[in-house]
Amino acid sequence: MNGVHRLLIGLAAIMGACGVMLAAGAAHLPDATRLAAASSMLLFHASAAIATIAVADRAVIHAKLGVAAAAGFVIAASLFAGDLVLRQYAGHGLFPMAAPTGGTLLILSWLVLVVSAMWPKQG
């Protein structure tokens, strides 16, 4: 496993921890639906990123495309969740269209994962 794989797994683990913290906030704070959505995005995509790196590392999928998909999951879910969390606590987002940009990148990352599964396997 190379350094990029380890970095992505580490970032996904941080996403998972943040997702749990946001779930706790959503459960205990009034009107925290944004936190619940942010939590879900982080938890789901942290797991997806880790699984994608695992199958890329074992050459089950096209490795470079798989790493690109995993990186997309990490970046996009962080963008999406970060925007929602800032809106909850600060009253403003990261930048205009940050959450939709993150959501669109998540969709694209899933499609890249599809291609990586269908592409001839490479190391």
What is the four-CA torsion angle of 57, 8, 13, 99, rounded to 10 degrees? -130
- Which residues are within 8 A (CB) of 112 and not within 5 positions of it... i.e. 6 or more apart? 65, 68, 69, 72
H/E run at residue 5: helix 3-28
Please determine, for residue 60, whether its predicted confidence score (pLDDT) is greater than 70.
yes
pTM assigned to the model:
0.93
The pair of structure tokens assigned to 5 is 């794989």
Residue 52 CB burial class (10 angstroms; 0-12, 13-18, ≥19): buried
pLDDT, position 121: 65
Mean pLDDT of 36-59: 97
Mean pLDDT of 70-98: 97
pLDDT confidence bin for 122, thresholds 50/70/90: low
Q: pLDDT tens for residues 5-34?
A: 999 999 999 999 999 999 999 999 999 999
